[in-house]
């Protein structure tokens, strides 16, 4: 095939994709105008189909300028959401949030299945140094900036210096949380392989445990600062130990059962993964176990204690090809643009400080760990993204500290929105510059 023919076919394909995208939006607009009142299940089904088609077509157009598919999914959701074209109402977006339960379970399973015990052992020094510098430098720097500038701007004198100190510490913990979903989505799209890919996957997945532990410890000491009548209690540490030990134990059990099922039966995996994603997740929440940690351990057990890891990853790929598009498109529709517009100065400043200190902390930790040059240079890029995990932690903080009100979580949402959009772009750029991407990605997403 000549270069001219290939170029003509490529132009024709892009033209068809643009036309298809415009047609999808036009049809949705007409449908909304004819039936302006949303109604139950049919509206939800229509929203799923629209976000799937719109997300896929938008991601294909983003690929032209080198942006990751995830950006296209988010953009389609933002445009269709309740704050722009209003093609999908807020209530429908809330109903689509049920997809998050399945998506996060698949993300954690795939993340655990991507972790090999030998790789973790080889990266132990790097993970230790980088987690230490990130948890130390980023937490302290972002907390100090929040205490000095953003805290007084948001809360004024309502909290007092003690309450503001507690809020700053809690903000610092949120700053060291990452986005496993965004990291895995970019790795799936680019099919990347190499030192940077290995480090990014291992660090982001392993740091979740540290974030959960750090938040629990911080909440113990923040409570008497926020409420002078409260006394220092270590009961929450016992609850934390119960949560971690129980999650690991149950995750190991689920992993062994899943490995046996894959080996002995191996059929109807779609139904099995859906049952795990919805049914088991609800059970874990009832038992006060962490679903992300549980499924992460389960995937790790399947990969390292059996020979069924590749079969599990292939099943997740088939199941997640639709789920992840809707997941990230829904996240885009969830972005509160009026809130972001109102709080953008503080959110932008906090996001910028977090990004800069993340880069500095990684350079320090990576140099102390004597990582490979490509990891020292680009390893920070996977640490900028934030999404569901950070928002989930902010809900826990809001419930535990009512004095913070909605202002604290609103600022979290605005900051996460910036990191959610910028982070994936930076990570894909780093993978491209380090030449770890294996092939031109396809339109449909692969495994998370």
Domain CATH code at residue 366:
1.20.1530.20
* Same domain membership, residue 10 and residue 116: no
Candidates 389, 266, 270; CA nearest to 320 is 270
* Same domain membership, residue 142 and residue 274: yes
Whole-number pLDDT of residue 447: 37
Residue 198 scores a pLDDT above 60:
yes
* Same domain membership, residue 343 and residue 416: yes
Confidence tier at 301 by pLDDT (50, 70, 90): very high
Total domains in the chain come to 2
User: pLDDT: is 304 or 59 the higher one?
Assistant: 304
* Same domain membership, residue 119 and residue 81: no
Q: Is residue 73 part of a domain?
A: yes
Which of 70, 96, 122 terminates a domain? The answer is 96
Q: Is residue 443 part of a domain?
A: no
* Same domain membership, residue 366 and residue 273: yes
* Same domain membership, residue 64 and residue 151: no
Q: Which range of residues forms the domain containing residue 31?
A: 3-96
* Same domain membership, residue 282 and residue 203: yes
Q: Is residue 441 part of a domain?
A: no
Whole-number pLDDT of residue 129: 93
User: pLDDT: is 36 or 375 the higher one?
Assistant: 375
User: pLDDT, tens digit, for every residue of 389-447?
Assistant: 787 777 778 777 887 776 787 788 778 878 888 888 899 899 988 888 864 443 334 43
**What CA–CA distance (Å, rounded) separates 273 from 322?**
14
**What CA–CA distance (Å, rounded) separates 16 from 21?**
9
Confidence tier at 378 by pLDDT (50, 70, 90): very high
**What CA–CA distance (Å, rounded) separates 251 from 248?**
5
Confidence tier at 33 by pLDDT (50, 70, 90): low
* Same domain membership, residue 185 and residue 294: yes
pTM for the whole structure: 0.74
Which of 96, 117, 149 terminates a domain? The answer is 96
* Same domain membership, residue 364 and residue 288: yes
Most confident of 113-117, 162-166, 322-326: 162-166
* Same domain membership, residue 411 and residue 295: yes
Q: Largest alpha-carbon pair distance within the chain?
A: 78
* Same domain membership, residue 395 and residue 271: yes
Query: Locate tokens 């919805």: which residue?
Result: 278
**What CA–CA distance (Å, rounded) separates 76 from 340?**
18
Whole-number pLDDT of residue 191: 80
Which of 96, 120, 136 terminates a domain? The answer is 96
Q: Is residue 234 part of a domain?
A: yes
Residues 6+ apart with CB under 8 A from 117: 300, 304
Q: 24-28, 73-77, 228-232: which range is least confident on average? A: 228-232
* Same domain membership, residue 401 and residue 335: yes
Q: Is residue 440 part of a domain?
A: no
43's tokens? 């509206």
Confidence tier at 39 by pLDDT (50, 70, 90): low
Q: Is residue 445 part of a domain?
A: no
Q: Is residue 442 part of a domain?
A: no
Question: Positive or negative CA dihedral for 133, 135, 141, 142?
Answer: positive
What's the whole-number average pLDDT of the chain?
A: 79
């Amino acid at each position: 095939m000549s270069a001219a023919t290939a170029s003509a076919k490529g132009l024709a394909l892009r033209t068809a994709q643009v036309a298809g995208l415009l047609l999808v939006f036009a049809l949705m607009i007409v449908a909304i105008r004819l039936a302006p009142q949303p109604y139950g299940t049919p509206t939800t089904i229509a929203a799923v189909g629209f976000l799937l088609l719109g997300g896929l077509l938008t991601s294909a157009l983003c690929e032209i300028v080198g942006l990751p598919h995830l950006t296209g999914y988010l953009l389609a959701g933002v445009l269709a959401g309740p704050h722009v074209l209003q093609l999908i109402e807020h209530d429908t977006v809330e109903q689509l949030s049920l997809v998050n339960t399945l998506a996060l379970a698949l993300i954690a399973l795939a993340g655990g299945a991507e972790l090999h015990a030998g790789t973790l052992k080889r990266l132990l020094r790097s993970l230790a140094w980088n987690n230490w510098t990130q948890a130390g430098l980023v937490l302290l720097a972002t907390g100090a900036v929040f205490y000095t500038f953003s805290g007084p701007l948001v809360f004024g004198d309502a909290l007092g210096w003690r309450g503001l100190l507690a809020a700053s510490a809690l903000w610092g913990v949120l700053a060291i949380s990452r986005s496993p979903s965004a990291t895995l989505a970019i790795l799936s799209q680019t099919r990347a392989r190499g030192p940077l890919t290995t480090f990014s996957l291992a660090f982001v997945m392993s740091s979740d445990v540290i974030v959960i532990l750090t938040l629990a410890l911080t909440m113990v000491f923040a409570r008497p600062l926020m409420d002078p009548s409260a006394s220092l209690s270590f009961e929450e540490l016992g609850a934390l130990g119960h949560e971690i030990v129980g999650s690991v134990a149950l995750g190991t059990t689920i992993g062994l059962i899943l490995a046996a099922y894959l080996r002995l039966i191996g059929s109807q995996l779609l139904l099995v993964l859906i049952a795990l994603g919805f049914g088991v997740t609800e059970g874990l929440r009832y038992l006060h176990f962490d679903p992300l940690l549980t499924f992460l351990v389960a995937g790790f057990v399947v990969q390292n204690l059996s020979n069924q890891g590749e079969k599990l990853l292939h099943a997740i790929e088939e199941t997640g090809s639709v789920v992840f598009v809707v997941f990230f498109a829904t996240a885009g529709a969830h972005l509160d643009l009026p809130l972001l517009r109102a709080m953008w100065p503080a959110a932008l400043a906090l996001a910028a400080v977090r990004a800069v200190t993340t880069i500095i902390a990684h350079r320090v930790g990576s140099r102390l760990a004597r990582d490979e040059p490509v990891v020292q240079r680009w390893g920070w890029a996977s640490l900028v993204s934030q999404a569901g995990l950070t928002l989930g932690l902010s809900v826990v903080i809001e419930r535990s500290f009512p004095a913070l009100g909605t202002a604290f979580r609103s600022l979290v949402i605005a900051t996460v929105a910036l990191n959610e959009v910028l982070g994936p772009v930076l990570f894909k750029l780093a993978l491209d510059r380090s030449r770890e991407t294996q092939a031109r990605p396809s339109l449909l997403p692969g495994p998370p």
